[in-house]
């Protein structure tokens, strides 16, 4: 498994983190052509700072999720930009060393070397921007838009996966789509019967 770990944006208030991994499994030769079966998915985590402790904690959370929910996969490489503060530090390197994960930073000022993550960042940010503009919501809801964009992207057909979705390839079943609504749709919370003031009080 290849783990690509990149910042989505930087600003004064928060740091946005995108984690993308791809599992590539080689299958036998077929008519002289080497075929690779690629399985990919994307997760997004939101941080308050770029401190090594917080970045390391998020990576450990992601590692635990992979270990418990996707037992057939193993993280082998950690590929990132050359961020000295958040990535290239003793704390995070120690976490990777314990799990025997190879640390592969890109060269300084060579972000294009991390092309898989850079393209995913562009895709997610474009989708989030379009949803914010279409819904006419303020920029403070960027996190909700990014989360929604990531959720929809993993359930959208991919050309590289021959029309299949990331979700289906990863989980071996079709995603459920009946619950999807337009971004900024009105929602009402149901009030349990035990918490209502009377028979004719609001239900939501």
Alpha helices in the chain (DSSP H): 52-69, 90-98, 115-135, 142-153, 166-171
Of 93, 86, 83, 101, the closest CA to residue 53 belongs to: 86
Q: Report the C-alpha gap between 148 and 159 in whole angstroms.
A: 21
Residue 114 is predicted with a pLDDT of 67
Superfamily, domain 2-195: Ribonuclease H-like superfamily/Ribonuclease H (3.30.420.10)
Give the tens place of pLDDT for each residue, 143-162.
Answer: 889 889 989 998 988 887 78
Q: Are strands 102-105 and 2-10 parallel, antiparallel or unpaired?
A: unpaired
Instruction: Quote the pLDDT of residue 40.
Output: 66
How big, in percent rounded to 5, are the helix, strand and coil portions of the chain?
Answer: 35, 20, 40
Q: For the chain, what is the mean pLDDT?
A: 76
Q: Read off the pLDDT of residues 73-102 as tens digits, 9 standing for 90 and up.
A: 788 888 877 767 777 888 888 988 988 888
Is the separation of the CB atoms in 62 and 20 below 8 Å?
A: no
Instruction: Enter the DSSP assignment of 137.
Output: -
Looking at residue 112, its pLDDT comes to 66
């Amino acid at each position: 498994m290849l783990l690509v770990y990149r910042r989505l944006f930087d600003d004064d208030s928060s740091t946005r983190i995108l984690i993308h991994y791809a599992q590539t499994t080689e299958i036998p030769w077929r008519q002289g052509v080497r075929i690779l079966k690629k399985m990919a998915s994307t997760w997004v985590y939101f941080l308050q700072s770029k401190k090594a402790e917080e970045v390391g904690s998020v990576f450990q959370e992601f590692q635990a999720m992979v270990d418990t929910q996707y037992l057939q996969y193993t993280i082998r490489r950690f590929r990132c930009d050359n961020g000295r503060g958040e990535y290239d530090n003793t704390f995070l390197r120690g976490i990777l060393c314990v799990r025997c994960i190879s640390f592969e930073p890109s060269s300084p000022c060579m972000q294009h070397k991390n092309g898989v993550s850079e393209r995913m960042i562009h895709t997610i940010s474009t989708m989030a921007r379009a949803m914010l503009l279409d819904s006419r919501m303020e920029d403070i809801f960027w996190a909700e838009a990014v989360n929604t964009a990531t959720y929809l992207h993993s359930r959208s057909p991919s050309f590289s996966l021959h029309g299949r979705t990331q979700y289906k390839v990863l989980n071996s079943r079709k995603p459920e789509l009946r619950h999807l609504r337009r971004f900024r749709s009105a929602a009402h919370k149901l009030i349990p019967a035990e918490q209502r003031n009377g028979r004719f009080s609001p239900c939501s």
